[in-house]
Amino acid sequence: MTSRSVASGRLQRALIPVFAVLAALALGAIMLLALGANPLTGYWAMLRGAFGSSNALIETALKATPLMLVGVGITIAFRANVINIGGEGQMILGGIFSTGVILALPDMSGFVLVPLVIVAGLTGGALWGAIPGALKAYFGVSEILSTIMLNLVAAQLMNFLLRGPMIDPNANQLGAIPQTERLSEGSDLPILIGSRLHAGPLIAVLAAIAAYVLLWRTTAGYRLRAVGLNPHAARYGGLPVKRSVVLALTFSGALAGLAGAVLVFGSESHRFVTDGSAAGFTGSAGFNGIVTALFGALHPLWTIPSSFLFGGLLVGANSLQRAVQVPQALIVALNGLVVVFVVSSDWLRERLGLTDEGHQPESNDTADEATVGDATVGDPTVDVEP
């Protein structure tokens, strides 16, 4: 396969989700017309609301941050051919772990607290991702079912903690908002620009780059991709298939947990707060991150612009509603259309033979597909799964 055909295939894969979004917006325009609203006015307001000013760009970046972290985690799980639907629960566990650490160590220096926040968030999400990974690998439990059920468990655990052990001690217990006290100022994520843009978007971009390096520049990443492409061949070649499945969901959960920590320590209130539902804390980023990953062709680096575009749609939708005075239900429906069309675009890529595997090898990966470091698929020195 020539380099020109590989580049053409990659361009087509990248454009299909874009056309899917345009198709969703076209259908949304028909809905706006049916309600007597001008779709051009509405969409122009949406564009300005998401990208038309420095404040709009900051809001979009903040909205994109958890989407990016969850989406990058989804791409890691996908490479091992497992599906992570548990981003909501993993975000909650990341928030719980990071908040618990800071509540236990409130007086430490900020140079210590901020790294603790990051590590604790990663740890909480990793734990909640490893559980369905182990169930999948060693007991054959569907990771789709287990991750969804663990979302419910995480939400109930959050409600228990925020209405009991972690609740703000200064709040009136009767009818109190389920939230912690104002967390240590030393644990606040550093502000980069103005008064709102914190280090969260930078952390998310660095995480996406790290995920790319993991998947395409390390032995562990090669093993994950090999298992995802053909677990039987990988097992025959001596690769630890079950361990790789657990590892993929652990990495995926860790990034979602980091998103939860960012939501707590990058928020304006600097509290862990919810309305009693998982979405009350996560803003549904655990599910929307899946769409972000699909829009980014399930590649860590493409998930970066994808999250900003999708985050912009979410932020700009509020401006659209105010500009043309349409019901909130229409905004929900418009976001739903984008989700459906983007998810369907993945099916279209497969029907057109434009899957990522169909255009391997990646750049500079020709040698990597045959060998990683000194280890080949059939190399007896590679760890053999017990």
Higher pLDDT, 133 or 326: 133
Q: 3-class secondary structure for 323-377?
A: HHCCCHHHHHHHHHHHHHHHHHHHHHHHHCCCCHHHHCCCCCCHHHHHEECCEEC
Q: Provide the CATH topology of domain 3-376.
A: ABC transporter involved in vitamin B12 uptake, BtuC (1.10.3470)
DSSP state of 230: -
Q: What is the pLDDT of residue 47?
A: 93
Q: Is the pLDDT of residue 136 over 60?
A: yes
Residue of 193, 177, 359 whose CA lies nearest to 271: 177
At 328-382, the pLDDT tens digits run 888 888 888 888 888 787 777 777 766 654 334 343 443 343 333 333 333 433 3
Cβ atoms of residues 215 and 225 within 8 Å = yes
* pLDDT tens by residue, 153-202: 999 999 999 998 999 988 765 567 889 999 999 999 999 988 889 999 99
Residue 325: pLDDT above 80? yes
DSSP string, 87-121: HHHHHHHHHHHHHHHHHHSTTS-HHHHHHHHHHHH
DSSP3 helix / strand / coil % (the chain, rounded to 5): 70, 5, 25
